[in-house]
Structure 1
């Protein structure tokens, strides 16, 4: 810990009986970046679909999508959104009924 600080994740010892040696190995963090965990396929997401986009509306409806008049959005399971190629239309991830 003194040498590597908070980048140190773990220390392991490996033993080689044949050569009668002990090897100390370490696991270090070398980079940290932002990451979003994958969305649950069954999550309901809200989609923006224009009122003139009837074909897309029908595809969403046929996949089980529901029009939410109050919010003016379509809601559909995330896995169906992926299948339809509509991820760029997602407004938010989790929706309350």
Structure 2
């Protein structure tokens, strides 16, 4: 029934057509929709309410230009060669390869990003 109906109006709290609902639901009111059922000839008013709120931190995501350290053992010559092709530079201080995230995104090298770096969320 509701899936076949068309929503013609999507209102934010405080707009004309929502005032009584704002009085009733207060800050919990997110939006009001008017839906029309042409077959039955009725208009339905629905509301979207906040019923639970909890703090949330979005997961850390790399940007394409972020410099990421890649851990590769000395004997993994194939991976070192891939990193060179991905424009990576060796950093002798931290003993890791540094490259822009865009060059290793969606490759096997992505799983080699230093775990300590992931916790800090910033370049070495």
TM-score between both structures, scaled by the size of structure 2 = 0.55
Question: What is the CA-CA distance between 1:30 and the residue it aligns to?
Answer: 6.8
Structure 2 portions without partners, runs of 5+: 1-21
Question: What is the CA-CA distance between 1:39 and the residue it aligns to?
Answer: 1.9
Considering fraction of residues, name the structure with more strand. Answer: 1
Structure 1 portions without partners, runs of 5+: none
Considering fraction of residues, name the structure with more helix. Answer: 2
TM-score between both structures, scaled by the size of structure 1 = 0.67
Q: Which has more radius of gyration?
A: 2
Consecutive aligned runs of 4 or more in structure 1 exceeding 6 Å deviation: 29-34
Counterparts of 1:55 and 1:21 in 2: how far apart (Å)? 66
What is the RMSD of the two structures over their aligned residues, measured on CA atoms?
3.4
Size of the aligned set, in residue pairs, is 93
Counterparts of 1:84 and 1:43 in 2: how far apart (Å)? 16
Question: What is the CA-CA distance between 1:38 and the residue it aligns to?
Answer: 3.2
